[in-house]
């Protein structure tokens, strides 16, 4: 991929905005960044750029909290499923990200963004019994990994599942950090295996860490002054419109 000054400018803006969103509502950095970057490059190239800032911000989110070990013990079947689903989909040829010659990955990204935002706008809440987690968790993980390999979106259906298992607010934020970190690492293996993660885009990915962290700091300041519910509504509406653009422009 040719790293032009324009691409660098778009990357900085995308991660600044994505970090701001994450600072306000605790999620959205991969979704916003891949959505905006895919306006100027292929989704697989966008995913390669978000590897480093996503890892840094989610490791930070994962490390903050008091129940890391307990959460990992509870969620390891989901995380194992994420890895399996990502690698099976990608290396069996089902992962659209690694072979987007027809625009299918872009259309799939659009659909995934629309579904993700629809869940947020509808405020659909599920409840999963603790006894169902051992068998449902791996299924959720495999589905999340498969969708991640196809679109670069890590959130569906993992985040609705995490919201459904009865975690308190602090544990939910930390669990999302665990989920996004594992998803990013699993997808990084795919990108390395397919030769997509190269020195040029890796250097820009490191460059994106600063605006992502700055955006998070601004977002935390905004969170004290703006109702998170209003901000979330604007976020999900924006994601839905962005997804509709991708889905409809590649019919």
**What confidence category does residue 173 fall into, taking pLDDT thresholds of 50, 70 and 90?**
confident
Whether residue 177 is predicted with pLDDT greater than 70 in this model: the reply is: yes
pLDDT at 246: 73
Whether residue 61 is predicted with pLDDT greater than 90 in this model: the reply is: no
Give pLDDT tens digits for 137-161.
Answer: 999 999 999 888 887 788 888 888 9
Whether residue 180 is predicted with pLDDT greater than 60 in this model: the reply is: yes
Contact present, 37 and 1 (Cβ < 8 Å)? no
d(CA 58, CA 55): 5
Whether residue 98 is predicted with pLDDT greater than 60 in this model: the reply is: no
The mean pLDDT of 19-32, rounded to a whole number, is 78
* Helical packing angle, 5-25 and 43-63, nearest 10°: 40
| Torsion angle of C-alpha atoms 243, 245, 246, 247, degrees rounded to 10 | 80
Q: How many domains does the chain have?
A: 1
The pTM for the full model equals 0.79
For residue 195, the tally of other CB atoms under 10 A from its CB is: 8
Whether residue 81 is predicted with pLDDT greater than 90 in this model: the reply is: yes
Contact present, 53 and 15 (Cβ < 8 Å)? yes
d(CA 247, CA 242): 9
Range of the domain at 117: 5-249
The mean pLDDT of 116-121, rounded to a whole number, is 80
pLDDT at 44: 73
Q: Give me the percent of the chain exceeding a pLDDT of 90.
A: 16
Whether residue 97 is predicted with pLDDT greater than 70 in this model: the reply is: no
**The tokens of 21 are what?**
């969103």
Give me the chain's average pLDDT, please.
81
The mean pLDDT of 18-26, rounded to a whole number, is 80
* Helical packing angle, 104-122 and 228-249, nearest 10°: 150
pLDDT at 139: 96
pLDDT at 172: 85
């Amino acid at each position: 991929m040719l790293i032009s000054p324009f691409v660098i400018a778009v990357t900085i803006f995308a991660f600044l905005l994505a970090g701001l969103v994450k600072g306000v509502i605790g999620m959205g950095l991969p979704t916003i960044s891949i959505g905006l970057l895919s306006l100027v490059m292929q989704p697989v190239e966008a995913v390669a750029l978000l590897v480093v800032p996503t890892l840094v911000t989610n490791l930070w989110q994962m490390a903050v909290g008091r129940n890391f070990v307990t959460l990992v013990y509870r969620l390891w079947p989901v995380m194992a499923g994420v890895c399996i689903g990502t690698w099976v989909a990608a290396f069996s040829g089902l992962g659209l990200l690694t072979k987007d010659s027809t625009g299918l990955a872009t259309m799939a990204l659009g659909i995934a963004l629309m579904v993700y935002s629809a869940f947020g706008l509808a405020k659909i809440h599920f409840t999963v019994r603790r006894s169902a987690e051992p068998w449902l968790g791996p299924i959720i993980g495999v589905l999340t990994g498969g969708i991640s390999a196809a679109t670069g979106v890590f959130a569906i259906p993992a985040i609705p599942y995490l919201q459904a298992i009865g975690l308190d607010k602090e544990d939910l934020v930390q669990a999302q950090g665990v989920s996004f970190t594992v998803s990013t690492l699993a997808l990084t293996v795919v990108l390395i295996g397919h030769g997509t993660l190269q020195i040029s885009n890796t250097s820009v990915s490191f460059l994106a860490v600063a605006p992502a962290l700055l955006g998070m700091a601004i977002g935390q300041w905004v969170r004290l002054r703006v109702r998170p519910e209003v901000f979330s509504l604007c976020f999900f509406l924006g994601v839905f419109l962005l997804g509709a653009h991708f889905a409809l422009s590649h019919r």
